[in-house]
Structure 1
Amino acid sequence: MLASTAVSLGSLGSQLLNSPSHNPTKPFLLPLNKPLLKSPNSITSSSFLKSRTSVRTAVAAVDSSDAAVQQAGGEGGSKSYHFVVANAKFMLDEEEHFQELMSERLRLYGERNMEQDFWLVIEPKFLDKFPNITKRLKRPAVALVSTNGPWITFMKLRLDRVLQDSFETHTLEEALASSRIDIEFEKPVKWTAPYAKYKYGWWEPFLPSKTSNV
């Protein structure tokens, strides 16, 4: 390659010297706006950047498409609902942080004018579809149900002693259907925690009957 380049340079110099317009008193100059050789690296870099941009665009398109499909719901107009469930005593009376987490999320949705997409369901009927869960579950049970799967996974990690799963159904009413029962908890003889005992009924704002879209 070096030899062929040298031959090309020699031919070009010979043509310039023999040109009628050549003045031997002026130094020999090559045009600055036309480089003799184009670096192979520059070609490779340009091609690589273009292909990389194309790949990024394609990936972004796939991600957006997947998100649109997930947002539209499942096949036949069904929608995915995610939940964590435990016995009512643990969820509503014993777990130290649950009430605070729920109240904080409800406040956040109110400030951002977002439609509520999470509910507490006492004795949910969808549990009949999960025999592997019901056989491990003390009754009565309470489920936290939401269309937001990642948030339910976070709540599973946060609450720890709960069971998690999901299901699909066509209507919100079916998803939140329950065998409503009255639940009562015995008051502790002595309360030693540094915070006040949760007030009975704190969960009522999160029940389906208390939300405007159910």
Structure 2
Amino acid sequence: MAAPATLSLRPCATLAPSRSALPAARFASSSRPAPSLSISCPPRRFKSLRRALAVGSDQQASAASSVKQEEKPRTYYFLVANAKFMLDDEEHFQEQLQEKLRLYEERSMEQDFWLVIEPKFLDKFPNVTKRLKRPAVALVSTDRNWIRFMKLRLDRVLAEQFDAETLEEALASNPAELNFDKPDKWTAPYPKYESGWWEAFLPPKSSNGMA
């Protein structure tokens, strides 16, 4: 006779309660905002920093000023002839200057050429002045190539160059009066230039050739 079968039951592991079933206080710490950090600097540090920046800017300004003072004199190039030839006889001179000035204005370029009546710098060139009729007029510019070009166009002029510390020094002039006689007969197909046309090309703050 077979032995009766037996059934044994093992204890089951208890299930962990769901997260929603746990008290809310247990997870409250996860939703708290992170604490903020604040760093405070003593006021003395800010004062020291501002003082250091001020000293640094003063040193830079002083260095820039010293560099500017050490700049070399600028070179000026000029053509010179007697005033009668430059301003009254040379028919195309005014047109050439006006065209160059118009070009500079269109391109917003700074003017770098002037007419100087009886310039003071001629005292430095005795070999030039002894060949000139007076009063004399000089075309002065910092553009060497353009002065060379104008030398070819004007032909009967003398060319030289000099250095000057300032523009005022370079363009300084002596008092002079310009009076040109009108020709008895004008045969050209265009009207003769009006007297005083050169005033637009005189140095700044000058209307009579005196810088």
Aligned residues: 138
Instruction: Say if 2:152 is the partner of 1:162.
Output: no
Q: Which residue of 1 aligns with 2:167?
A: 172
Could you tell me how far 1:97 is from its partner in structure 2?
0.8
Q: In the TM superposition, what are the counterparts of 1:117-196 in structure 2 within 5 Å?
A: 117-196=112-191
Match of 2:175, SS state, is coil
TM-score by length of 1: 0.62
Cα distance in 2 between the residues matched to 1:181 and 1:207: 13
Shift of 1:152: 0.3
Q: Name which of 201, 204, 212 aligns with 2:199.
A: 204
Q: In structure 1, the residue corresponding to 2:104 is in which secondary structure?
A: helix
Determine the C-alpha separation between the residues in 2 that align with 1:203 and 1:163. 19
Deviation readout 1:49-99 (Å, 9 max, x if unpaired): xxxxxxxxxxxxxxxxxxxxxxxxxx8520100000000000000001100
Q: Distance in 2 between matches of 1:184 and 1:135?
A: 22
Q: Which has the higher helix share?
A: 1
- How far apart are 1:210 and its partner, in Å? 4.8
Q: Supply the distance in 2 between the matched residues of 1:141 and 1:175 (Cα, whole angstroms).
A: 16
Residues 114 and 76 of structure 1: CA distance in aligned 2, closer, same or farther (over 3 Å): closer
One-letter code of the match for 1:107?
R
> 1:156-210 deviations in whole A, cap 9, x for unaligned?
0000000001001111111000003121100111111122101111100100035
Q: Please tell me whether Structure 1 or Structure 2 has the larger radius of gyration of its CA atoms.
A: 2
Q: How far apart, CA to CA, are the structure 2 residues paired with 1:202 and 1:117?
A: 18
Answering whether residue 82 of structure 2 is matched by residue 87 of structure 1, we say yes
How do 1:60-139 residues align onto structure 2 when only pairs under 5 Å count?
77-139=72-134
**1:149 and 1:184 mapped to 2: Cα distance?**
31
Unaligned runs of at least 5 residues, structure 1: 1-74
TM-score, normalised by the number of residues in structure 2: 0.63
Structure 1: how far apart are the matches of 2:163 and 2:181?
A: 36
Q: Secondary structure at the match of 1:208?
A: coil
Distance 2:164 2:158 in 1: 20
Q: How far apart in 2 are the matches of 1:132 and 1:155?
A: 21
